[in-house]
Structure 1
Amino acid sequence: MDSITKYYQIIYPILKEYADLPYRYGEVKRHLIVSEDKLHYLFMTWGWENRRRLHGCIVHLEIVGDKIWIHEDGLEDGIARDLVNAGIPKSQIVLGFHPPEVRPHTEFAVN
């Protein structure tokens, strides 16, 4: 099994579970968007809450080679924790939302 298929089988169910949770109130929807090549994963919300338009990316993951880059992580406990709990080693996860000079000080991959 190639790394893209392996990662898809782990990432998709995790993000799908978040996307299926109902939003607390308002007419806000959650969506999981996966690129056709299964290299990009976007967990998005959009809709209306108290007459205010909401639209945003909660999580953006990208598979680059044999690593998962986390470009955006707006989850309360962090998507990295979910990935590690699902069996992805920290050495295969890059916290891309941190500047390159900060990454060596995390427990995760640098690039």
Structure 2
Amino acid sequence: METVNQPLDEWREILEKILQYYADLPYRYGDVITYMIVSRDRNHFMLVHEGWENDRRVHGCVVHAEIRNDKIWIHYDGIEDGITDELVAAGVPKDCIVLAFHPPQVREHTGYAIA
């Protein structure tokens, strides 16, 4: 499905490019690798840390985004400044980005899509 503003494949490429940039950054402490995971249908995009920092296991989601109903839903964004500004800079309209980690009643005040 395509939107009026940008085709689905272009959004997929934008998300993959942004997440790959962060996946390629070396983890500062310990033996930790950051993986970019894309679902087979290419509608879910994740960054995951996995490894060891000193004697502590590191494993968890850093970013989870999904393309759903002509919008990019950011379910979780653990990047320091977030990826939303990068999405907008790449041409994704703010009204096509849902900050899903905020409750619906808060989203209307973010300047991004509600749902």
Q: Which runs of 5+ in 2 are unaligned?
A: none
Q: Does 1:58 align with 2:53?
A: no
Q: State how 1:63-102 maps to structure 2 within 5 Å.
A: 63-102=67-106
Name the counterpart of 1:6: 10
Asked whether 1:24 is paired with 2:21, we answer no
TM-score, normalised on structure 1? 0.96
Shift of 1:9: 1.4
Number of corresponding residues: 111
State the 4+ residue runs in structure 1 displaced beyond 3 angstroms. Answer: none
Q: Which sections of structure 1, spanning at least 5 residues, go unmatched?
A: none
User: Aligned partners of 1:50, 1:78: CA distance in 2, in Å?
Assistant: 27
Q: 8 Å contact 1:4–1:38 — kept in the other structure?
A: no
Q: Distance in 1 between matches of 2:15 and 2:83?
A: 9
C-alpha distance in 2, partners of 1:31/1:79? 16
Aligned-residue Cα RMSD (Å) equals: 1.2
TM-score (norm 2): 0.93
